[in-house]
Chains A and B, each alone.
Chain A
Amino acid sequence: MISFQNVTKKFSSNILALEDINLDINKGEFVFLVGPSGAGKSTLLRLLAREYLPTSGKILIDNIDVTKLKPQDLPNYRKKIGFVFQDFKLLDDRTVFENVSLALQVRQLPDLEIEKEVERTLKLFEIWNRRNLFPRQLSGGEAQRTAIARAIIGKPEVLLADEPTGDLDPQTAWSVLSLLGEINSWGTTIIMATHNKEIVDVQKRRVISIKDGKITKDKSEGKYEFH
């Protein structure tokens, strides 16, 4: 479903973020991307979200070359992809309800439909009672649940998670991971960049290790290691 073919990304002539990446990820997979800071994990996710274009190579999703998408095609493409960040990127002046609604508003759905869907999702994520609070009034776990709710409410095919547990205490990190596991069980492909060794080692899922912009390991039931 997702295929990186000889993908290289240079930010300037001296900074090589990714080098000759070849990678296939199947529909419905849950993949961990591990590696030290600056290894290229976030760059790989951002290439997939078409925030960046590769310097060379192809990125295919369902046999469509993402690098060839025209600017006017990007909004529709991005609706297939959910993105979760370490710092949540919730909008400070909007409540939990409004933050999650935003993902459906950009799809220009009717207000009534948005309200119903947001209510359903917030209840599912157990943050319905926090719906009128602003991000600064939430705990880290609640903020990340809100961010994940916003990312998946549009039913994306792929969820990209960039260090989603990075700022959370271990207990909250586990609850977020459990939530991601549940989302994966619905058929959503999840690619999660993480530094959390404990989580990666226990989960026994596919682990892709990246170091200095290259894939060093790719194991189906891997562990947190990139040497």
Chain B
Amino acid sequence: MNSFDFTKRNIRRTPYQALAASMVMFLTFLTLSLFIMMAFGSQQILRFYESKPQAIAFFKDGTTSTDVNAIKNALTQTDKITSFKFVSKDEALQIYKQRNKGNPMLLELVTANILPASLEISTKSPDDLKFVAEIVKKEPVVEEVVFPEDVVASLTQATSLIRMVGIAIVGFLIAFSTLIIVMIIGFKIRIKRDEIETVKLLGATNWFIRMPFLLEGIIYACLGAILGFIVSFLIFWYFESVLKTNLGEAVQNIIPLPIIFIGELLAIELLVAFLVGGLGSIIAVRRYLRI
């Protein structure tokens, strides 16, 4: 019989505490998983926009194809353009309908007249976007020009916010989980005091006595991490189609999630679980187990 058998016996003997510890760990690691996924996702979307030099010019009502062609000609002469794509009001409505097909209320309120026609302008380099945008802005038929600088700035801000909030919440939960492990393992050491005394008199080494408690904390943490990992993927899977519809090709790198990312996430979570469970148990053993 090895330390794992002693650990199994400890867990079986107090199943409610085992459940409580694993549930707290589950919450911690579910949150950790979700924040890592959000940070990874926003980073990938950011990269997508950074790597795709495109500006979109929205036209005022009444803009004719002659006006649009004039702009195209002017831009082509700059030798910085790779392609144009004109999106008419009707096409804009189709795109809107496609993105909001699950929400009839939104579909009812919008007609083709409300949506502006636009011209998607792709440049050879992201550095050319500002130059191109300045030219297009001067055209009287152009209402607004949007290019990734705005999107990238917003996304960068969102990504750093997700990171900061994530680090704060996950940090708090990790500290909380460690304390829960200290409390539960400490309690188990107390209720097994007589048993520890007996085993000690039989000649058990310190590690023989400590190891089952250390393993117990690590098992709770790893179990919570695996459950949190699985549930976070179920949540992501549930929202996958919504993300795809709303963000289109911007999420092409994260749907489906890359295998390498999944493997890395699992490895990170198990490593953190090992450290949290191990640290909590070590603190409890040092504090409560006087051998």
By size class, the interface of chain B is 10 to 19
Any chain B CB within 8 A of the CB of A91? yes
Contact with A along B9-38 (1 / 0, CB 8 A): 100010000000000000000000000000
A101-B1, A105-B1 given; A78·B13 CB < 8 A? no
Any chain B CB within 8 A of the CB of A53? no
Any chain B CB within 8 A of the CB of A13? no
CA distance A105 to B202 in the complex (A): 10
CB distance B203 to A107 under 8 Å?
yes
Any chain A CB within 8 A of the CB of B204? yes
CB distance B202 to A91 under 8 Å?
no
By size class, the interface of chain A is 20 to 34
CB distance B198 to A79 under 8 Å?
no
CB distance B203 to A78 under 8 Å?
yes
CB distance B9 to A93 under 8 Å?
yes
Any chain B CB within 8 A of the CB of A148? no
Any chain A CB within 8 A of the CB of B131? no
Closest-CB distance, B74 to chain A (whole angstroms): 85
Most chain-B Cβ atoms within 10 A of its Cβ — which of A72, A101, A105, A154? A105
CB distance B200 to A111 under 8 Å?
no
Query: Which one of A91, A101, A114 lies within 8 Å of B198 (CB-CB)?
Result: A91
Interface positions, chain B 151-181, Cβ under 8 Å from A, are none
CB distance B203 to A102 under 8 Å?
no
CB distance A51 to B201 under 8 Å?
yes
Give B192's nearest chain A residue, CB to CB: A91
Residues of A within 8 A of B198 (CB): 89, 91
Closest-CB distance, B201 to chain A (whole angstroms): 5
A75-B204, A102-B199 given; A111·B1 CB < 8 A? yes
A93-B9, A93-B13 given; A106·B1 CB < 8 A? no
CA distance A75 to B202 in the complex (A): 8
Most chain-A Cβ atoms within 10 A of its Cβ — which of B1, B13, B206, B291? B1
Residues of A within 8 A of B200 (CB): 78
Any chain A CB within 8 A of the CB of B194? yes
Contact with B along A75-108 (1 / 0, CB 8 A): 1111100010000010101000000011101111
Any chain B CB within 8 A of the CB of A49? yes
Residues of B within 8 A of A76 (CB): 203
Any chain B CB within 8 A of the CB of A150? yes
CA distance A120 to B54 in the complex (A): 84
CA distance A154 to B201 in the complex (A): 12
CB distance B204 to A106 under 8 Å?
yes
Residues of A within 8 A of B204 (CB): 75, 106
Residues of B within 8 A of A103 (CB): 202-203
Contact with B along A24-60 (1 / 0, CB 8 A): 0000000000000000000000000101000000000
CB distance A75 to B1 under 8 Å?
no
CA distance A219 to B9 in the complex (A): 48
Give A83's nearest chain B residue, CB to CB: B201
Give A93's nearest chain B residue, CB to CB: B13
CB distance A75 to B205 under 8 Å?
yes
Closest-CB distance, A83 to chain B (whole angstroms): 5
Residues of B within 8 A of A75 (CB): 203-206, 208
Residues of A within 8 A of B197 (CB): 89
Chain A residues within 8 Å of B, Cβ to Cβ:
49, 51, 71-72, 75-79, 83, 89, 91, 93, 101-103, 105-108, 111, 114, 150, 154
8 residue pairs bridging A and B, Cβ less than 8 Å apart: A51-B201, A71-B206, A75-B203, A75-B205, A78-B201, A78-B202, A102-B199, A154-B203
Chain B residues within 8 Å of A, Cβ to Cβ:
1, 9, 13, 194-195, 197-206, 208, 291
